[in-house]
Structure 1
């Protein structure tokens, strides 16, 4: 059978050794290295090829060394000693290797990090794979541009202690915090620290992508300036276990009449049911019956057992009746449209709610209407 594998070309090697013209040597080096990349080499051929690479690495012409590096920057064929030698070369040669070559050990990369320029450190931080050991050195010792590059590299294995160090050192940098926030995986404590450091858009991504504890949401929702973005009701709509969510809110003293009334007025009825059940110490199925199927006195009995203020019961009654009326219409409302209808009808009844609660609900209505208008116009 004929062997069709690419083979090292003796003529190209001889041309490389004997040529005096730099362009000729660079062309020969490029062709030879391409052959090495595609060839299936025996152990003896591999050893011979690496000897040729050592010869190329010692060439006085930058063009020759660069021809080799560009072709073999990601190849396992490049020997470690050659890679280390070229890592000390000029940037046009060193950077492609530092960005991609598998020839370096972690020890090599750490040594280079501590002895090289920022641009070379950035190249290492952006590698296709960065070990936790290398990432730790960058996190604890790197400058902001290098750390930002590491944070944005999802293929970097950044241990929790290193993530914490990054936030300790550069938490005030919006760019670093944002890069961390968009990582595919984040520990819960890091996500919660980031919540207060990033923009509203990035914060929404954090909340949607990473599990954020209700305790954090409670703390943030207490600040009026952040209520529009970090809203406990938005969390309630997506919570996987509403019973647990309500229990945790109650343990922190955040499950109250104001929150439940807001949930009711915006149509988040399952959360209202679980919230009342939690406050009343009643199983959810029983609370559901008292809200929906126990006649006019069922809701009142559950409300009183939950210990909610008597002055707000009329507003709760209006909210439940409004919700039932919309359900009875049977229209196929999407969630946003249903929320708008709930808010409109609830607010037109002039419910006896606090000024803060009414202001919040009007704000929700203001945010819902433009979104629906844009959707209908699209």
Structure 2
């Protein structure tokens, strides 16, 4: 217990002599787990302890390392980066949460690009995250959904980065970003449409060529009449979407979804050919399909479209049909009259 006794004594008026520091380090290295843990707790805020001892404790098991990683003023950037490289994920998270983390360590975390560690960093309001580092985090949030909420609320999020982040967050975070920055909703929607067009490479939709055979034209006319008849009788319901896809009647699905939601053919096609399933989810929610129904639609549709819509990152945000319809029209405004 001599090591603990040394820690419990008053801080020395002058730095420890080198020889004494080396003795202290040797004793600590040979101490039992519980003693090393207590040592870490008691030296966490000390500015007089041997730096080599603090570095050693930071590389120890996580319950020993955590106090000095979180608070020691003697733990410099080089030691923190060594912790990132040589230790466990728990150690890396502790580094990312360290108050007043320097820009150099922030960059090291971003270079490693571990999703969990970056999410911890995004939640650290005191870390030195500059404009370039924040931009990297926003870019990572395109594929790492866990980054989006802490970034949307981060004090260093600029208006330009907020518009970029807005492109791939859910409706709740879009509302939060819009309220925080008081950005014109039309500007945000324009950013979404521009990104969507680039990401999904949506083709230009043109009328069917005249060479289309008579059988196809007849089938389209039959589908049109069926949808019109069901709608006139008040029997056009969301269940027809799943049925149409299971019967491999892709055209009937497109037409029925458009009629149910009041969407243009181009809007429906753009949703189907998007890089993410979010537009289709909004459209299906708008016409009354629940999550289970949407899952069936998505699975059946991808069988007919070579995997479209894509798997781009997004999360299904619960909302009512009115909110979903509004969100879908905002996202697909570019295709409203095509």
Question: In structure 2, which of residues 170, 189, 195 is the aligned counterpart of residue 199 of structure 1?
Answer: 170
| 1:64 Cα offset (Å) | 1.6
- Unmatched 5+ stretches in structure 1: 1-24, 224-362, 365-378
Q: How does 1:200-349 map to 2 (within 5 A)?
A: 200-210=171-181, 212=183, 216-217=187-188, 219=190
Asked if 1:169 is matched to 2:140, the reply is: yes
Unaligned 5+ segments in structure 2 are 195-321, 324-338
1:318 alignment counterpart: none
Equivalent-residue separation in structure 1 for 2:85 and 2:120 (angstroms): 16
Question: Contact between 1:131 and 1:157, CA under 8 Å: does it hold in 2?
Answer: yes
Partner of 1:78: 49
- Tell me the CA shift for residue 203 of structure 1: 2.6
- 1:148 CA displacement: 0.3
User: Cα–Cα, structure 1 residues 45 and 90, in superposed 2: closer, same or farther, change >3 Å?
Assistant: closer
How many residue pairs end up in the alignment? Answer: 197
Find out whether 1:91 has 2:91 as its counterpart: no
Determine the C-alpha separation between the residues in 2 that align with 1:202 and 1:172. 16
- TM-score, reference length from structure 1: 0.46
Distance 1:177 1:100, change over 3 A: same
Q: Work out the CA distance in 2 between the residues paired with 1:75 and 1:44.
A: 11
User: Could you tell me how far apart the structure 2 residues matched to 1:119 and 1:190 are?
Assistant: 29
Structure 2 counterpart of 1:35:
9
Q: Deviations over 1:300-344 (max 9, x none)?
A: xxxxxxxxxxxxxxxxxxxxxxxxxxxxxxxxxxxxxxxxxxxxx
Residue 139, structure 1, aligned to residue 110, structure 2? yes
Q: Quote how far apart the aligned CAs of 1:189 are.
A: 1.9
Query: SS of the counterpart of 2:9?
Result: helix
Further displaced range: 46-55 or 206-215? 46-55
RMSD, aligned CA: 3.2
Deviating above 3 A after TM superposition, structure 1's stretches of 4 or more consecutive aligned residues are 28-32, 44-53, 210-215, 220-223
Task: Confirm or deny: 8 A CA contact 2:46 2:72 kept in the other structure.
Answer: yes
Residue 124, structure 1, aligned to residue 124, structure 2: no
Contact 1:139 1:163 in 2 (8 A): no
Greater Rg over alpha carbons, structure: 1
1:157 aligns with 2:128: yes
1:92 counterpart SS class: helix
Deviation at 1:213, TM superposition (A): 6.4
What TM-score, normalized to structure 2? 0.51
Map Cα deviations across residues 92-131 of structure 1 (whole Å, 9 max, x no partner): 2123222222212112212221222211111100001211
Counterpart CA distance in 1 for 2:60 and 2:16 is 27
Distance 1:120 1:159 in 2: 23
Q: CA deviation at 1:147?
A: 0.4
- 1:181-227 deviation per Cα after TM superposition (whole angstroms, max 9, x unaligned): 1112212221111122323333333233336467734626989xxxx
Higher helix fraction: Structure 1 or Structure 2? 1
Q: What aligned pairs does 1:9-48 form with structure 2 within 5 A after superposition? A: 25=1, 29-30=3-4, 32-36=6-10, 39=11, 41-43=12-14
Partner Cα separation in structure 2 for residue 69 and residue 199 of structure 1: 42
Q: Which has the higher contact order (CA 8 A, sep 6+)?
A: 2
CA distance in 2, matches of 1:166, 1:44: 40
* Cα displacement (A) at 1:146: 0.3
8 Å CA contact 1:66, 1:93 repeated in 2: yes
